[in-house]
Amino acid sequence: MTSPNIVTPIAATVVDVVVLAGTSVREGAVVAIVEAMKMEHEIRAHVDGIVSEIFIAQGDVVDAGTTLMRVMPQAARAAVDAAVDVADDASTDKGAVGTALADLRARHALLQDAARPAAVAKRHALGLRTARENVADLCDPDSFIEYGALAVAAQSRRRTVDDLMRNTPADGMVTGIGTIDGTRCVVMAYDATVLAGTQGHRNHQKTDRMLGLAHDERLPVVLFAEGGGGRPGDIDMPIVAGLDVPTFASYARLTGRVPVIAIVAGRCFAGNAALAGCSDVLIATRGSNIGMGGPAMIEGGGLGVFKPEQVGPSDVLDRNGVIDVLCDDEAAAVVVARRYLGFFQGASKTWSASDQAPLRDVMPANRVRVYDVRPIVATLVDDDSLLELRPRFGAAILTFLARIEGRPVGVLASQSADGGGAIDGDAADKTARFMELCGAHGLPIVSLIDTPGFMVGPDSEAQGQVRRAGRMFIANAQLQVPLVAVVLRKAYGLGAMALTGGGFHAASAIVSWPTGEFGAMGLEGAVRLGYRKELEAVAEGPARGALYERLVAQQYERGSALNMAATLEIDAVIDPADTRSWIARRLRFR
């Protein structure tokens, strides 16, 4: 299919734009004139059709390959006209009602993907779906009720009514209410095939309307956020900067009130990215790019020239914690969104679980050997219920949503395979945010602990460790949900306290496997510091080494799980195979 884009073959300055949006053109007709090296070049249409969008103005400087305008090919225009004709023929009513109904059907025909085959084909060629395809996949069949469908871009002073209806359907955003696995939700999808999914005046109005309904009726929100941010071309309204819109504050206000989910595929910049960043969870595809400013804004700020693919690529944002769940494509992202939302839809009546006996053998015999905690978590929770958030960011603490006996829970798990499980700044930020999420939506927290404490040292402090560690204690202090702590092995210092609600007895319950070991700091370090004089009193050599080993052994005996339980610093020591049932029984009392 012929591309609708008319591009300039050279870097040049726009001398004249010969046509207007909505103008019919013939193949070969001059549509613009550009100047390079003091010579003028004619830019001609490459197909018969209608000029649907113009992206340039006189005096603009453009690079080679820049899209100057788009032309809806005549074949696509004919398909639209045919859809309108069918709508007209479908009306059997007579009189004024019949005429109005035919007009309505014609307008709704223009909203459908079939009315813009060239735009849809271009979208599919990129391996992406249309906004309406995503909404249809997310919502239960026949459940979606669209709001604001008949809106068009606020550009009537520069474009014809027919052009706006055909080329700016729904003002580039599909909004409405549908059910997702039976739960009523607000669903909003920026349409990247309409003015690049930008935020126009009327789609801001639509967004604000839906966010108000979400707030008042406590409806979860799912936002397909792809798009280029604010749209400067809406000139119908007396607006200077447009900074008084309530959209962003209204969206952020939903945090903690209802689940708020963003899905991003393709390019998501500026205002669209700001909304995505305010979401409880951000699900993105591997081909996505997300940034608070796109290439034009970056260049305009004098910060360099970049391709869109260089700004906020998914691999970088997956590692730095911006993206919560990374998916292969939009279909997979929709599946994850459904799964995520399911954790806030109540307990499941049916569930199954693995045999728990293998938990007795998962801990390495060598007490300083690292291991992957994920198999332990997967065994403890219901089968196929795990959803990990931000797996590559702050990996010393893993965060999961899961179910235990059908009940949704949040799970924190120390990952000794990453820095020995020491909690660095990233892990502290990640954990605090996760606690806030669980607390806001009433999910109990299960904390699986094997940590030597907070990461320390000059490099760590250079990363703001003091404030970031403090955020964990603040998040703990705000919790109104039960936190059940299970010490798998090491539980040292302030880091262990931060994973148990702020202190061992701040937890709803704290138990330990028999392998648990406890101390105000690492026991070897405690011996070196606390018994320095005794050690220095013995000549360096085998005798000092033997004394050191004996003192360390005494510290381990003193800090053993059994001794901690005997002194009531923890509540119980349990068989690892009983961990799941112990947690489930404790949570039943809530």
Interval 235-263: pLDDT, tens:
767 776 777 789 999 999 999 999 999 99
Question: How many CA atoms lie less than 13 Å away from 565 in the CB half-sphere?
Answer: 18
Q: How far apart are CA 142 and CA 125, in angstroms?
A: 28
- Name the pairing type of β-strands 173-180 and 183-190: antiparallel
Domain count, the chain: 3
249: enclosing H helix or E strand: helix 247-253
pLDDT at residue 317, rounded to an integer = 97
Question: How many CA atoms lie less than 13 Å away from 364 in the CB half-sphere?
Answer: 12
* 543 within domain boundaries: no
Residue 315, Cβ density class (10 Å: 0-12 exposed, 13-18 middle, ≥19 buried): exposed
Q: How far apart are CA 382 and CA 407, in angstroms?
A: 9
Within 10 A of 524 (CB to CB), how many other CB atoms are there? 15
Domain shared by 449 and 578, yes or no:
yes
* 569 within domain boundaries: yes
* 85 within domain boundaries: no
Cβ atoms of 187 and 144 within 8 Å: the answer is yes
Domain shared by 229 and 324, yes or no:
yes
> Which of 73, 98, 122 is a domain's end point?
73
pLDDT at residue 37, rounded to an integer = 81
pLDDT at residue 103, rounded to an integer = 80
Question: How many CA atoms lie less than 13 Å away from 221 in the CB half-sphere?
Answer: 36
Backbone phi and psi for residue 432, each to the nearest 5 degrees, phi listed first: -60, -45
**pLDDT tens digits for the chain (590 residues)?**
456 789 999 999 988 888 877 778 888 888 889 998 878 899 998 888 888 788 888 888 888 888 898 887 765 555 545 544 544 454 454 566 777 788 888 888 888 888 888 889 999 999 999 999 999 999 999 999 999 999 888 888 888 888 888 888 999 999 999 999 999 999 999 999 998 888 888 999 999 999 999 999 999 999 999 998 888 777 767 776 777 789 999 999 999 999 999 999 999 999 999 999 999 999 999 999 999 998 888 888 888 989 989 999 999 999 999 999 999 999 999 999 999 999 999 999 999 999 999 999 999 999 889 999 999 999 999 999 999 999 999 999 999 999 999 999 999 999 999 989 999 999 999 999 999 999 999 999 999 999 999 998 999 999 999 999 999 999 999 999 999 999 999 999 999 999 999 999 999 999 999 999 998 766 666 667 767 777 777 778 887 878 777 777 777 777 899 999 999 999 999 999 999 999 999 998 55
CATH number at residue 254: 3.90.226.10
Q: How far apart are CA 85 and CA 98, in angstroms?
A: 14
Domain shared by 48 and 166, yes or no:
no
Domain that holds residue 281: 131-342
Domain shared by 395 and 334, yes or no:
no
- Our measurement of the distance from residue 98's CA atom to the centroid of its chain's CA atoms, rounded to an integer in Å, reads 46
Domain shared by 175 and 302, yes or no:
yes
pLDDT at residue 87, rounded to an integer = 46
Domain shared by 512 and 466, yes or no:
yes
Q: What percent of the chain has pLDDT over 70?
A: 93
DSSP letters spanning 210-238: HHHHHHHHT--EEEE--B-SB-TT--SS-
pLDDT at residue 434, rounded to an integer = 97
Domain shared by 224 and 293, yes or no:
yes
- Phi-psi region for residue 89, left (φ > 0), alpha (ψ -120 to 50) or beta? alpha
Q: How far apart are CA 347 and CA 345, in angstroms?
A: 7
Within 10 A of 519 (CB to CB), how many other CB atoms are there? 21
- Phi-psi region for residue 388, left (φ > 0), alpha (ψ -120 to 50) or beta? beta
Cβ atoms of 288 and 273 within 8 Å: the answer is no
* 104 within domain boundaries: no
The Cα-based distances of 379 to 17, 173, 261, 336, 450 in angstroms read 66, 43, 28, 21, 17
Residue keyed to tokens 């001609």: 44
Tokens of 331: 């279909």
CATH number at residue 21: 2.40.50.100
Domain shared by 314 and 363, yes or no:
no
Cβ atoms of 294 and 262 within 8 Å: the answer is no
* 469 within domain boundaries: yes
pLDDT at residue 412, rounded to an integer = 98
pLDDT at residue 385, rounded to an integer = 96
Global pTM exceeds 0.85: no
> Which of 342, 377, 403 is a domain's end point?
342
Nearest to 207, CA basis, from 262, 157, 281, 158: 262
State the amino acid at position 62 in one-letter form: V
Q: How far apart are CA 217 and CA 126, in angstroms?
A: 37
Q: How far apart are CA 449 and CA 438, in angstroms?
A: 18
